[in-house]
Amino acid sequence: MSTKTAEIAKMIDMLPDSDKELAYELIKKLVLAWDPDYTKVTEQEYKDITVTCTSPGKTFNLAGLQISNIIIPNASLRKEFQHQVTAAGYSQVGAPGIFALIAAYTQGEEWYQAMKQYVKSNIDFLHTWMAEHLPQIKVTKTEGTYLVWMDFRALGLSDKELKELIEDKAEVWLDGGAIFGEPGSGFERINVACQRATLVEALDRIEKAVKENVHG
């Protein structure tokens, strides 16, 4: 994915759901206007240009083991990829990562389903809690992830002031939206893949910091 494409994807991801649909529809129309035969690509043609990358890293919290799967049906493309990986000096993965991947994919289903339910309950809790305690801060609807965007723009703070409020006053470490570019200004991203007690403590700290430091 090019840098420009990545930037566009990030900006679209920050849009409200209703606007996302319009954005994707516009992109689809632009693509078809540029190439009317875009949707007529055969299955084999797709395979020849497709590289599928998957990893148990985030789902099973194995990121530190640096293990992933790269699936390349086209033999020529696969050979070129292997050459580049070898040239980078990173062609081998560690044994712990291999065994962890096998264990995750073959024995982790029960844990995975339980984890999804727990994270979903944390997301629901976050929406309810914020609506009751800090209704001026809006929580966006997630789309299959445990990272949730919160809109702090109603507080009227600059990005620098918001960063100081969250990190220095509340002593909570979130991802400031400003690091993702102008569309992220005024937003903060929270990770809810944690114990409920940890989430509650973070929210309590944010509430206390807002009520003690933001007026008007």
Residue-wise pLDDT tens digits, 123-165: 999 999 999 999 999 999 988 789 999 999 999 999 999 999 9
What is the CATH topology of the domain spanning 3-107?
Aspartate Aminotransferase; domain 2 (3.40.640)
3-class SS of residue 71: strand
Please enumerate in sequence order all residues whose Cβ is within 8 A of that of 39, keeping only pairs 6 or more positions apart, or say none.
32
Beta-strand relationship, 147-151 and 187-191: antiparallel
The residue extents of the domains of the chain are 3-107, 110-213
The runs of H, that is alpha helices, within the chain are: 3-13, 17-34, 43-49, 75-87, 95-107, 109-133, 159-163, 196-213
pLDDT at 3 over 80: no
For 110-213, the fitting CATH number among 1.10.150.530, 3.40.50.1100, 3.30.2320.80, 3.90.1150.10 is 3.90.1150.10
CA–CA gap between residue 95 and residue 131 (Å, rounded): 47
CA–CA gap between residue 47 and residue 17 (Å, rounded): 31
Question: What is the CA 197 to chain-centroid distance, rounded?
Answer: 22
3-class SS of residue 184: helix
Residue-wise pLDDT tens digits, 83-99: 998 898 877 888 999 99
Tally the residues of the chain. Answer: 216
pLDDT band for 8, please (50, 70, 90 cuts). low
What single-letter amino acid sits at 142?
A: T
pLDDT at 5 (0 to 100): 63
- How does DSSP assign 77-124, residue by residue? HHHHHHHHHHHTT-----HHHHHHHHHHHHH-HHHHHHHHHHHHHHHH
pTM for this predicted structure: 0.71
